[in-house]
Amino acid sequence: MHSIEDTAAFSRQIQRMFTAIAPRYDFLNRLLSVGQDRSWRKRAINRLALEPGERILDIATGTGDMALEIASRNLSVQISGIDFSRRMLDLGREKIKENGYDHDVSFQIGSAECLPFADDSFHGAVCAFGIRNFADVKLGLREFHRILKPGGRAVILEFSKPTNRVLKSVYNWYFDLVLPKVGSLISGHNDAYSYLPESVADFPDQAEFVSWIKDAGFQKVSFKELTFGIVSIHYGYKGI
């Protein structure tokens, strides 16, 4: 992954992009993943192995799909969601309220690379399709580790690159040609869905990302590929 010299400018650019596409974000997630994004999120939350009464942080929560999935398990879990796009959070609050979980979920604006929470605050941290948008991914991972209680779990759901040659060619055709055109047409934003395949291509592969998570201090780090490696769930634990 290339280095980003001006991290503040990069973050502002990504923030503006997500604010612009926020109204169509959920619809495009369903359309462009052919509905698979819901299944991916469910499996990521399953991997988190929730326990009643825990505190969970959803990092780069966007419109709150992961927070909503956690709340729907009805385990009296206290969920905090953080994102740097106020417009995305506004839509997330509406979604959570419509589903009757506004007493279980709270949202606030902030940076994933400088989380506004004390050390050892949460039992679990999740991040879905957000970490490749960080200006400093390794700093973000260290923040994940810092805010977790000893024994806490981190689960990161992110796009990855299939290794099968045939599938990889189909994947690249869809990501490089189809997805940007459809995304641009529906969202009205010319750059957002061109940025997506570029950011995925620039992100470390599954094995390298495991090493990054370990370097941040996590133990028992591993990953599981979903849908032939189109996405992967990475997970690790904070030592006791």
**For the segment 165-201, what is each residue's pLDDT rounded down to a tens digit?**
888 888 888 878 887 788 778 777 767 677 777 888 8
| Number of domains present in the structure of the chain | 1
Q: Is residue 46 part of a domain?
A: yes
**Residue at 179 is within a domain:** no
Whether residue 5 is predicted with pLDDT greater than 70 in this model: the reply is: no
Phi/psi zone of residue 221: left (φ > 0), alpha (ψ -120 to 50 degrees), beta? beta
Q: Is residue 104 part of a domain?
A: yes
* 188 located within any domain: no
Alpha helices in 3-160 (DSSP H): 7-32, 36-48, 65-71, 86-98, 137-147
Q: What are 82-115's pLDDT values in tens digits?
A: 999 999 999 999 999 999 999 999 999 999 999 9
Domain extent, residue 230, equals: 7-24+33-162+204-238
The CATH number covering residue 230 comes to 3.40.50.150
- Tell me the C-alpha distance between 237 and 150, whole Å: 8
Predicted confidence at residue 2, as pLDDT, reads 45
Instruction: For 216, list phi and psi in degrees, rounded to 5.
Output: -80, -5
Mean pLDDT over 69-83 rounds to 97
pLDDT per position as a tens digit, 37-51: 999 999 999 999 999
- pLDDT of 132 reads 93
- In angstroms, what CA-CA distances link 126 with 21, 67, 156, 214, 234? 22, 9, 6, 16, 10
